[in-house]
Amino acid sequence: MTNLANTLPTSGRGQLVPGRVYRTKDLATWGKNASRLAGRLERQGVLERLAQGLFVHPRIGRFGSIPPDDEELMRGFLEGAPFVITGPERWNALGLGSTAVFATRMVYNTKRSGEFRLGGGRFLLRRVRFPAKPTPEWFAVDLLEHHDMAGVSLDTLAEGLARALKAGNLRFGTLRKEAREYATARIQELIEQAGSAAMMSA
């Protein structure tokens, strides 16, 4: 951790945590002019700019500074508002047949919508409903609703879903509950059919 008392010509005390993302206003704790302080710390290499008004106090690894992970980046950017990161990485891990790859990360949240470039990465933010604690079953519903973005047909996903249910990798009761809360009627029907298929082949 960096003690700001070693960096500022003031009596302010405090520490910056390596890997943590800060907004300019967060620095007001250590100085009256947060913008000027941010500029000074950036010039000194204590902070690295991720976007306008957004910085990270980098962790240093063998090959230089290590970028913040997506969770920490979103925490700082959204100022602590609830969010969930979804998209190909989460979808592909379900083993339902999706092998999608694209550079933009999808983030559902309660604060902002739009596409943003942060720290060299691109993030597509959407203000939509999502559970406080997403389950694998919720990510499966999310994949089904966005099968076109994932580049996989609903028929392929339905087959994968039936296999996952039969193997016990997904829970039908939870899947049905998530679908009733977050899916369209079409996807709810597909899930019911996959559940029936899994039971018949058991």
Q: What is residue 9's predicted lDDT score, i.e. its pLDDT?
A: 40
Distance from C-alpha of 103 to C-alpha of 13, rounded to nearest angstrom: 40
pLDDT value for 13: 38
Residue 11: pLDDT over 50: no
List, in order, residues 6 or more apart from 126 with CB less than 8 Å away.
Answer: 106, 107, 108, 109, 113
40-45 mean pLDDT: 94
What's the pLDDT band for 4 if we cut at 50, 70, 90? low
pLDDT for 37 equals: 94
Give the Cα separation of 101 and 118 in Å (integer).
19
Specify the pTM: 0.87
**pLDDT average, residue stretch 23-42:** 92
pLDDT attached to residue 31? 81
Domain parsing of the chain, residue ranges = 2-66, 70-200
Say which DSSP state 69 is in. P
As a whole number of angstroms, the distance between CA 70 and CA 171 comes to 28
What is the distance of C-alpha 106 from the center of its chain?
7
Whole-angstrom distance, CA of residue 84 vs CA of residue 109: 7
pLDDT at 3 (0 to 100): 56
